[in-house]
Amino acid sequence: MSTEARKSQIRIVIAAVIIVATVGWLAFTGAQDNKSYYVTISELQGMGSKAYVRHLRVAGNVARGSIHRQGTFVDFDLVEQGRKLAVSYKGTEPPPDTFKDDAQALAVGTYGRDGVFHATLLQAKCASKYAPAAPKTPATTTTATNTAAALPSR
C-alpha cells in the first residue's frame, strides 16, 4: 500500500471517530436536558436546593376551588396526602378539557425559589371517565331471559 493511500485511510478513520464522538456527545447531553424526575409533593418539598435545578414531574389532585385561569395560563393547587403545592402553568397549549376540580393532574416543569411549581406541560384525567362500568344486576339478566322465553318460537 502506498503512503498516499495510507494517509487517506487515516484521515477517513479520524473523521469517522470525530463524527461518532460528536453524535454521541449530542445524544448524551440531549438526554440529560430532557430527563425529568417524578416526585411526590412531599418529596419535592423535602429536596432542599436540589429541587430548584431539576426538571420535575409532580402529580396530585387539583384542589377544589383553586383554579384561576388567565387565557391559556392557569394557577392552581395540587393536593396529595394532605400536602399542597401551588402550580403556575404557562404552556403553549390551553389546559385539557378534563382539567377540573378534584381531577388527577400531572405537572411537568421546575420548582421555583418562590415556592411555586412552574409547569410547562399539564396533563389531567377525569376520574369518572375512567371508572369501571357498573356491574350488571341479576334483575336485568332475569328480565332479558324472561322476555326471550315469552317470545313465540318459529
DSSP label of 41: H
Cell of 23: 453524535
Q: What's the pLDDT at 149?
A: 46
Is the pLDDT score of 64 beyond 80? yes
Correct CATH for 36-125 of 2.40.50.140, 3.30.70.580, 1.10.132.20, 3.30.420.10: 2.40.50.140
* Long-range CB pairs of 67-73, under 8 A, 24+ apart, other chains included: 67/99, 67/100, 67/101, 69/95
Write a three-state SS string for 75-126: EEEEEECCEEEEEEECCCCCCCCCCCCCCEEEEEEEECCCCEEEEEEEEEEC
Q: What's the pLDDT at 133?
A: 56
Mean pLDDT of the chain: 79
In this prediction, residue 154 has a pLDDT band, given cuts at 50, 70 and 90, of very low
- pLDDT, one tens digit per residue, over 5-60 is 888 889 999 999 999 998 888 877 666 555 567 788 888 888 888 888 788 899 88
Q: What's the pLDDT at 77?
A: 93
Under 8 Å between Cβ of 107 and 61: no
Residue 75 has φ and ψ, to the nearest 5°, of: -110, 135
Q: What's the pLDDT at 94?
A: 85
Under 8 Å between Cβ of 56 and 39: yes
For strands 73-80 and 56-62, give the pairing.
Answer: antiparallel
**Higher confidence at residue 69 or residue 34?**
69
Residue ranges of the domains in the chain? 1-35, 36-125
Could you tell me the pTM of the whole model? 0.59
In this prediction, residue 88 has a pLDDT band, given cuts at 50, 70 and 90, of very high
In this prediction, residue 137 has a pLDDT band, given cuts at 50, 70 and 90, of low
